[in-house]
Amino acid sequence: MNQKALTYEHNEPFHLERGGVLPKLEIAYHTFGQLNADKNNVVWVFHALTANSEAMDWWKGLFEKDSAINPDKHFIVCANILGSPYGTSSPMSVNPETGQAYHSTFPLITIRDMVEAHKLLRDHLGIEKIAIGLGGSMGGFQTYEWAVQEPDTFEKLILVATAPKESPWRVSVHAAQRLAIEADPTWRDNDPEAGAAGVAASRAIGMLSYRNHEIFEKTQNDDESKVDDFKADSYIRYQGSKLANRGFSGFLLWSLTKALDSHDLSRGRGTLIEVLEGIRIPILQIGITSDLLFPIQEQRRVADHLANVQYREIESLFGHDGFLTETEKINELIGGFIS
């Protein structure tokens, strides 16, 4: 669709959970469809780590005219997350106090900070209730967090391949990614391309957790004559370079993985089980059978502690990336949930 993002400017200090302060905050966002007279048709879409606010583009097939959620019936909002390079305040933004880009001086952020930014945009748009909160992967972190903070805001939640807390397994993946970034001596330089080699290596590590053995066997296999220049090698290198060329500096990606690690619904709220059992909003929780990053065993354990959940599993070869590719199956489940 390639619709230009809108921007909301919050011209007051924005205080962060870890103690930092942004002198002002800019939030890039997209809306699709129209807010109805009753203001009860809002769908808030939360994006994952390297996506942006143009949900119609990166979640292709999920918001078509014949989809369960579509702009003919719904007012769809998607905001670029705090710390991302696609228009919202980030290490790439200019610090109004210095007139220079923040780069590595940008303060560390958390998932809760991202939610606070969403709430400011919600108020700016005059939205009181959100009919559906929808998020996959890191987007689900934000969905969970906002719903726990404001349980009366959402009518329903749809959580795809996500979790209420970052796991030791995922923290370890992120640590490996940060090691790759830190091995690039330029990663903290005041340059928009700082740490490009580290970003490429970090993304390559991430891709191994987003996919799995079976899909690589099907798509990256070579004939027996090869002794070098393998498809899988080329594919992983391509994916790494692709992200490095999309505006992700070393420090920016490093700081976003730190934000991922911060996710824990139970921080300051009791045990995780207590928090989950206290969520009364109707939830559609979708797990992906081949997901290595958010394994199906974890999905089932979480569902066991949700009071009002429809838990469903999708068979997919694509691993964690199935939350982006299996839109036909996801749409069918959403249709049954919201009808």
Q: What 3 state SS string does 49-115 have? A: CCCCCCHHHHCCCCCCCCCCCCCCCCEEEEECCCCCCCCCCCCCCEECCCCEECHHHCCCCCHHHHH
CA quadruple 7, 150, 143, 35: dihedral sign? negative
Question: Tokens for 274?
Answer: 């207590």
The pair of structure tokens assigned to 5 is 């993002």
Separation between Cα atoms, residue 9 and residue 216, nearest integer Å: 44
What is the C-alpha separation between 259 and 50, in angstroms, rounded?
A: 13
Q: Has 320 been annotated as catalytic?
A: yes
Which residue is catalytic, options 30, 47, 263, 320?
A: 320
d(CA 3, CA 198): 31
* Amino acid code (one letter) for 222: D
Please name the helix (run of DSSP H) or strand (run of DSSP E) that holds residue 124, with its range, or none: helix 111-124
List C-alpha distances in Å: 294 to 120, 133, 265: 30, 20, 16
Contact 80, 6 (CB under 8 A): no
57 annotated ligand binder: no
Give helix 138-149 / helix 111-124 axis angle, nearest 10°. 70
**Is 18 marked as binding a ligand?**
no
Q: Round to whole Å and give the CA distance between 196 and 181.
A: 8
The catalytic residue among 90, 137, 262, 290 is 137
Q: Looking at the DSSP assignment, which residues form a beta bridge with residue 154?
A: 130
255 is catalytic: no
8 Å CB contact between 53 and 80: yes
Could you say which of 113, 184, 264, 291 is catalytic?
A: 291
Q: Which residues are annotated as a binding site?
A: 203, 321
Which residues does the annotation mark as catalytic?
137, 291, 320
Q: Which residues are annotated as a binding site for substrate?
A: 203, 321
